[in-house]
Amino acid sequence: MENPKLTTICDKAFLTNIVNAYNGRIKGIYLPESVTYIGQQAFEGLRSLEHVSDKYVVTGEVGYLNNNLEYIGLRAFKNTNAIIKKLPDNEKFTRIESQAFNECTGIEITELPSNIEFIGYSAFNGAPYVNISKFGWTDDLVTSKLHTI
């Protein structure tokens, strides 16, 4: 019998309000290519989270979410220290949900995926290394697109 592949990180999977035992213990996560969905608040408040990778690595290059991701939920990485350097760039990843990376102090993206049509309110608020205006988006534009896309 073949092992099923992990495809989903469910809503609130590691939300520290619910599972405080995880906080301080999880330093990194490996998201295999089979994962296509990260639910709402999946890692919210997990301040110990520093490394996210699409490859199983102990040392080396981290910060790349797998390119098969189609959805990153509302507040998924809020209040984490996750190092994220590149977001998925595929035809199904078109939205960055509200507060997805709010107060995510480690996110350092330099470009948006080519198919992004929607950036939710405060998606990158408090993320010191991300300036959405550099990509042609403003808070006003984000607010207006919430209603038009």
pLDDT at 4: 58
**Least confident range of 17-21, 27-31, 65-69:** 17-21
Q: What is the pLDDT of residue 43?
A: 92
Q: How confident is the model at residue 141 (pLDDT cuts 50, 70, 90)?
A: very low
Q: Residue 147: its pLDDT value, please?
A: 37
- Residue of 148 and 41 predicted with greater confidence: 41
Return the higher-pLDDT residue of 22 and 109.
109
For 90-107, how does the pLDDT look when each residue is reduced to its tens digit (9 = 90+)? 999 999 999 999 999 988
pLDDT over threshold 50, residue 149: no
Model confidence pLDDT, tens digit, residues 46-83: 888 888 888 765 555 678 888 999 999 999 999 998 88
Q: How far is CA 19 from CA 11, 13, 40, 51, 103, in A?
A: 13, 8, 15, 19, 20
- The CATH number corresponding to 1-149 among 3.40.140, 1.10.3470, 3.40.50, 3.80.10 equals 3.80.10
Q: Which two tokens stand for residue 79?
A: 């209040």
Cα–Cα dist 47/81, whole Å: 6
Q: What is the pTM of this model?
A: 0.83
Q: Is 144 helix (H, G, I), strand (E, B) or coil?
A: helix
